[in-house]
């Protein structure tokens, strides 16, 4: 692993060492909280970073002190020649992570073992097949579950990302917790977040306090775990269970104080925050042969302290100016 002094530091003194790269805005699912009902206008191929551009931009971020890279989408595994890309990124000496819906994961598990990519987040909002079809608008449930179990058998470090929505899947909280009894797996319950076109309303949200009350009511004593530095979740374990669980409380308890994350969209725009409405174009100067190091270092200085300035409440006038979730990257 690399050991470079972080240089991407915002005006609050926070060093940024974690880069999330969206490889594509395309996905083989149509989850309603991520993809607007009317769909999105997909990016034209010339505007998308090539694999070589992704590799070289990642190298630049690495040289500025980034030591962790998460690959997201849309669905990253639908990107053509993904295997080549991930092998080349692994050579850069960063810790590689992946967020996927798992549909074609079986094609890459052996490669991941070979290059040392072990940290995988599964986007899986329900353990019920009929509900899965309702949420995703596609019928891949059995394939996803098969690939999830295959990754578990290969001892991958697995987390399950569950976006909780009241009246949709909040009655499954304890079903996910039950998985942790005998499996080394970490469900991550994510509070429903607002993005362009996803009809967000916090009345549909499930808070951290509600989740903990639900779990303790069924399973009894909950142990609070130490949170890794820069963790986006508060982490817990039911006493006696092999696995653990986390809660990402973006709405009710923001975790921005130690934020170390930057985002790079598939069309080469740097976003300082998931909720940022402003972006910095890195791809155009990169293609013009211009150095982008100083552009990155200057761009981070405009980062707001918390949720792109939505410190008190989630403002519809603000987040509707953002991209839809699928074109930002999970």
Q: Residue 226: CA atoms inside 13 Å, Cβ hemisphere, count?
A: 2
Give me the residues of the chain with pLDDT under 50, please: none
State the pLDDT at residue 315: 54
Question: Rounded CA gap, 19 and 301, in Å?
Answer: 16
* Entry field: residues in the chain: 330
State the pLDDT at residue 40: 56
Q: How far is CA 132 from the centre of its chain?
A: 19
State the pLDDT at residue 316: 53
State the pLDDT at residue 330: 61
18-310 maps to CATH 3.20.20.70: yes
Question: Rounded CA gap, 132 and 27, in Å?
Answer: 15
pTM tops 0.85, yes or no: yes
State the pLDDT at residue 317: 57
State the pLDDT at residue 253: 80
- Cβ atoms < 10 Å from Cβ of 139: 11
Locate the domains of the chain by residue range: 18-310
């Amino acid at each position: 692993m690399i050991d470079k002094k972080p240089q991407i530091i915002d005006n609050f003194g926070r060093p940024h060492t974690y880069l999330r790269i969206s490889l594509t805005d395309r996905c083989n699912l149509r989850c309603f909280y991520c993809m607007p009902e009317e769909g999105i206008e997909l990016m034209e191929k010339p505007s998308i970073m090539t694999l070589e551009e992704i590799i070289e931009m990642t190298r630049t971020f690495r040289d500025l002190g980034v030591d962790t890279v998460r690959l997201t989408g849309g669905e990253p595994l639908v990107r053509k020649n993904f295997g080549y890309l991930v092998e080349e990124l692994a050579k850069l000496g960063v810790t590689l992570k992946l967020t996927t819906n798992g549909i074609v994961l079986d094609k890459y598990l052996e490669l991941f073992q070979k290059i040392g990519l072990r940290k995988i987040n599964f986007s899986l909002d329900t353990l019920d097949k009929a509900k899965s079809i309702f949420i995703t608008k596609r019928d891949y449930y059995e394939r996803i579950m098969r690939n999830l179990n295959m990754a578990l058998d290969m001892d991958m470090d697995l987390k399950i990302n569950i976006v909780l929505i009241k009246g949709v899947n909040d009655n499954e909280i304890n079903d996910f917790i039950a998985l942790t009894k005998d499996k080394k797996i970490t469900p991550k319950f994510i509070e429903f977040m607002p993005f362009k076109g996803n009809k967000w309303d916090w009345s549909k949200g499930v808070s951290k306090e509600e989740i903990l009350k639900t779990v303790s009511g069924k399973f009894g004593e909950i142990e609070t775990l130490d949170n890794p530095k820069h963790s986006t979740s508060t982490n817990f374990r039911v006493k006696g269970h092999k696995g653990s669980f986390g809660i990402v409380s973006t709405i009710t308890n923001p975790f921005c104080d130690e934020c170390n994350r930057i985002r790079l969209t598939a069309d080469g725009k740097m976003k300082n925050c998931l909720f940022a409405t402003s972006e910095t174009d890195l791809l155009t100067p990169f293609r013009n042969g211009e150095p982008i190091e100083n552009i990155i270092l200057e761009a981070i200085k405009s980062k707001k302290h918390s949720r792109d300035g939505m410190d008190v409440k989630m403002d519809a006038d603000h987040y509707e100016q953002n991209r839809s979730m699928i074109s930002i990257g999970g």
